[in-house]
Amino acid sequence: IINTGDNVQGENPYQGSVIGNTEMGAMDQVTKLALPTWLDLIFSLRQNFEEIQIDLFKGNHGAYSRLAPETSNWDLMLYNSIKSITDRDKSIKTNVHENFGDIVNINGFRFFCFHGDDIPCQQGVPFFAISKKLKSWYIQYDGFNYALGGHFHKRHTDEVASKFEYFMVS
């Protein structure tokens, strides 16, 4: 399971989310909505698979504020809660990635996973900048077969180069 972030809207006024404009506060978003939903999914899958690997990357919607440390992120609180519960089951390996992106190895295939909020749009379109960034990261991370990103809340796939494909998940 790979998750590229934005599980929690949070209460960050820089993203239009002030308490009173959202149905529930960030802590309730984590504890009453996201955590139970994710645990239901994980333990449901656990009944059908001998091993499960979960790689979790933070999004920007759960960021506490622009002034807070990078680790002050509601996605990370959710992920660390998931990890503390799933670590009790030795057949579930949960990896919480605090950096912007990383390589995840799945059956010998290298997936470069990231959120993507640091990619600027050009005339409201992110695709040119994504392609440019991915080619740079391909070199920086010694190649990968696939890239998985989020942030733009759209589904999209592209063969960026003959060496790898990119999937934007919503």
What are the tens digits of pLDDT across the range 11-46?
A: 765 665 666 666 788 889 999 999 999 999 999 999
How far apart CA 27 and CA 18 sit, in angstroms, is 13
Answer whether residue 170 shows pLDDT above 60. Answer: no
Q: What is the pLDDT of residue 37?
A: 97
Q: How many CB atoms lie within 10 A of CB 131?
A: 15
pTM of structure: 0.85
Q: What is the pLDDT of residue 124?
A: 66
Q: Which structure tokens are listed for 146? A: 């696939």
21: which residues sit within 8 A by CB, 6+ positions away?
A: none
Average pLDDT, rounded, for the chain: 86
Q: What is the pLDDT of residue 22?
A: 67
Beginning with the edge strand found earlier in the chain, give each strand of the sheet holding 92-97 in spatial order: 2-3, 52-57, 92-97
Q: What is the pLDDT of residue 132?
A: 86
Answer whether residue 140 shows pLDDT above 90. Answer: yes
- Measured CA distances, 82 to 35, 73, 78, 86, 131 (Å): 7, 14, 6, 6, 32
pLDDT in tens, 104-123: 999 999 999 999 888 887 76
Residue of higher predicted confidence among 36 and 164: 36
